[in-house]
Structure 1
Amino acid sequence: MRKRWRAALIAAAAGAVVVLAVALPLFQPWRLFTDKVVDEALPSAVPISTNSSSTTPPTISGAPSSHRPTAPEILLTGKLITHEHETSGTVAVLRLPDGSRILRLENLDTSDGPDLKVWLSDAPVIVGKNGWHVFDDGRYRSLGGLKGNHGSQNYPIPKEVRLDDFQSVAIWCDRFNVSFGAAELKST
């Protein structure tokens, strides 16, 4: 009888080790207690080289300055709402003076998680649990991995991406196919 208990105990311990070996890397529960803060500056409006021995201030050649924007232009904006995890902050799609576009997350505050991505999506933003899983149902474009779960960060939008094809931004957990939070994009 004692040998059976010992064999059962050993089998249970071996089973627990196997479950933990699979579950820990998959769920990464320690991320509930970790944070990564990223505070990127807004890309500069006009790059100017200061590597010169001249005492004359630098000038920018080309089109007249009245026709060239010197600050980013706000194309779309939105406010993040909570889905699977408490999430807040704002999003903006900006056109930089050089014509490139970025998605900017400002004052982001969400949970850390495994395999988080920043997505543009054609899905509507739905409040509550019904909105958690909609962002991969249609068209979406990943702008890359989330750099940090707190702070302000920039994500380049490739030239070929048509903004008219998308109406929302999602902080998407690719591992569990769920939105941590999302924002509807609106024209300014």
Structure 2
Amino acid sequence: MIVLASKSASRAAMLAAAGVAFEARPAAIDERALEADMQGARPDQVALALAEAKALAVPDADSPVLGSDSLVVMGDRRFDKPASREQAAEHLRAFSGRTMQLHSAAALARGGEIAWGHAALATLQVRVLSDAFIESYLDAEWPEVGHCVGVFRIEALGVQLFERIEGDQFTVLGMPLLPVLGALRDLGELPA
């Protein structure tokens, strides 16, 4: 059994569907402070540092702890989870007709040390979104998408935001699952 240092329903669903036994214990870290300390770092480095911090924030002497994080970048701007429905609409207007980069990272800690880490990239082409679509989308998806960087759940109505997606579905869902499963096999947590 592993510990998932997250309250993400998407990450929990991925692990459950893959047959990984886990216990969810969300990590409490100051993500904005860590990001501020990493000014100038590449987005994949920031995502991985956040995943590592989450994995280390949930101590467990017996089980590996899995931390994961995702961030969205468009040009030079990094987007966090929206703080309000109004900010969610602003983010969607900013994404409209543009390409976003979604960086998803995961890290495994064992005995208070990072044992493994990986960052992956997905590129998502957002279609042109009308104000009417944005409002109807948020009517249906708010407040759930308020917990999602990029203001979408790809497994729900969020799929309607995009024209094209490059990258694996697990990265888009918020965790590079295939490398995580490989690392768990390497650590002896899953059969090889």
Q: Which has the larger radius of gyration?
A: 1
Q: Same fold (TM over 0.5)?
A: no
RCO higher in 1 or 2 (8 Å CA, sep ≥ 6)?
Answer: 1
Shorter-normalised TM-score: what interval?
Answer: under 0.3
Structure with more of its chain in strand, by fraction? 1
Structure with more of its chain in helix, by fraction? 2
